[in-house]
A = this chain, B = another copy of it.
């Protein structure tokens, strides 16, 4: 797919333009939600870089600031582009307790916690849990059925 954007970004942050970096960054650009190492590997198929390379590339991308570690779920880190985040706060991430899907809440804004008593707050991360539109409807609409069981 269109790797132009990835190559552009790599040039911007002055990282060597290797095939692996371009592919991994492209996977992140195309992702509709934060992804983990295994998902990146899967999305790149047979030509995917080695697991170790993926972790190392993610590390270098995070160092430059163009990628963030969005959250950790089931002892596994999920990554996304940082272009929707301010230096201080990223958008909250919402996980549905019924269907287990996680998504970015880009339209939700929360004030920063106020620094006090000598604490200097540099970064704030918010995780939300609850029912997504699909699952909350299922709960309302059915009598006793658990949400999420309608997607078979």
Contacts and interface: CB of A to CB of B under 8 A. Distances in A.
Given A72-B72, A136-B118, A126 B113 contact: yes
B118 A97 contact: no
B108 A120 contact: no
Contact of A108 (B92, B110, B113, B126): B113
Contacts of A86: none
In the complex, the count of this chain's copies comes to 2
A121 B110 contact: no
Nearest to A129: B123
A117 B94 CA distance: 13
B128 A127 contact: no
Interface in A87-145: 92, 94, 97, 105, 107-108, 110-111, 113-133, 136-137
B125 A121 contact: no
A114 B128 CA distance: 11
A118 B130 contact: no
Q: What 10 pairs between A and B have smallest CB-CB spacing? A: A118-B133, A122-B130, A123-B129, A120-B131, A121-B130, A125-B127, A120-B130, A120-B136, A108-B113, A121-B128
Interface of A: 72, 75, 92, 94, 97, 105, 107-108, 110-111, 113-133, 136-137
